[in-house]
């Protein structure tokens, strides 16, 4: 039976908890909660093990920091014998308007250091990824401050709808497949 690995990217530590860069953790947390699971700290990250419509799902929040995510993803793929096409990496994206999502089966890192490390570790950009738009409302040279900054009040308010929408997209990846999920959720 196919196993799935859902990876939420973020940085560990309380000071990063509610930052734009940690949207991967936020969506992973909501996904696990929605499906009645819980996380336990294991090797290279926090892990939740779920079954969704009979399919085994491992949810990973790496504790390696964003820029070294590839090591944790590779370890859990190998440990659980999960094929790359059944991995979904969830991350923030500055090039997408706030709250919009883009799911693709392959692509570049787009300048995202977490995706770059995974791509370098896999030696390919051919793995599914889920990008959550955080917008680009920052002045030149302030990109790092922006992604490591906390959500503003309007963004927080919109999350009430955007997080469940994102959880539905992740669930669809597992139950309906990549192509159907892209058709239903991309750009919305």
Distance CA 99, CA 92 (A): 10
CATH number at residue 106: 3.40.50.1470
pLDDT for 174 equals 98
Tell me what pLDDT residue 148 has.
Answer: 84
pTM across the whole model? 0.94
Residue 110 has a pLDDT of: 85
The pLDDT of residue 57? 98
Q: Read off φ and ψ for residue 83, nearest 5 degrees.
A: -75, 150
* Total count of domains within the chain: 1
Pick from 21, 61, 23: nearest CA to 40 = 61
- H-only helix segments in 138-177: 143-147, 153-176
User: Can you give the pLDDT at residue 10?
Assistant: 94
Say what the pLDDT of residue 68 is. 92
State residue 23's pLDDT score.
96
Tell the burial category of 13 from Cβ atoms under 10 Å away from its Cβ (0-12, 13-18, 19+): exposed
pLDDT given for residue 144 in this prediction: 77
Active site residue 21: yes
Is residue 113 marked as binding? yes
Mean pLDDT for each consecutive 10-residue tract of the chain (188 residues)? 94 90 96 98 98 97 92 97 96 93 93 91 94 84 81 91 97 97 94
Domain around 169: 4-185
From 17, 21, 35, 112, the catalytic residue: 21
Is 16 annotated among the ligand-binding residues?
Answer: yes
The pLDDT of residue 135: 87
Is residue 65 a known part of a binding site? yes
């Amino acid at each position: 039976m196919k196993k799935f690995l859902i990876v939420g990217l973020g940085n560990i530590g309380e000071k990063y908890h509610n930052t734009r860069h940690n949207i991967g953790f936020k969506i992973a947390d909501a996904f696990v909660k929605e499906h009645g699971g819980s996380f336990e700290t294991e090797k290279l990250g926090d892990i939740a093990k779920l079954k969704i419509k009979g399919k085994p799902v491992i949810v990973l929040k790496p504790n390696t920091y964003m820029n070294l995510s590839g090591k944790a993803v590779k370890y859990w793929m190998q440990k659980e014998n999960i094929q790359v096409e059944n991995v979904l990496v969830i991350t923030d994206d500055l090039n997408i308007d706030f709250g919009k999502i883009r799911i693709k089966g392959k692509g570049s890192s787009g300048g995202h250091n977490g995706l770059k490390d995974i791509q370098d570790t896999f030696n390919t950009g051919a793995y599914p990824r889920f990008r959550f738009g955080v917008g680009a409302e920052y002045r030149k040279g302030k990109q790092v401050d922006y992604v490591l900054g906390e959500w503003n009040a309007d963004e927080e308010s919109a999350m009430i709808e955007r997080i469940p929408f994102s959880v539905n997209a992740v669930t669809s990846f597992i139950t309906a497949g990549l192509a159907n999920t892209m058709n239903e959720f991309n750009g919305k």
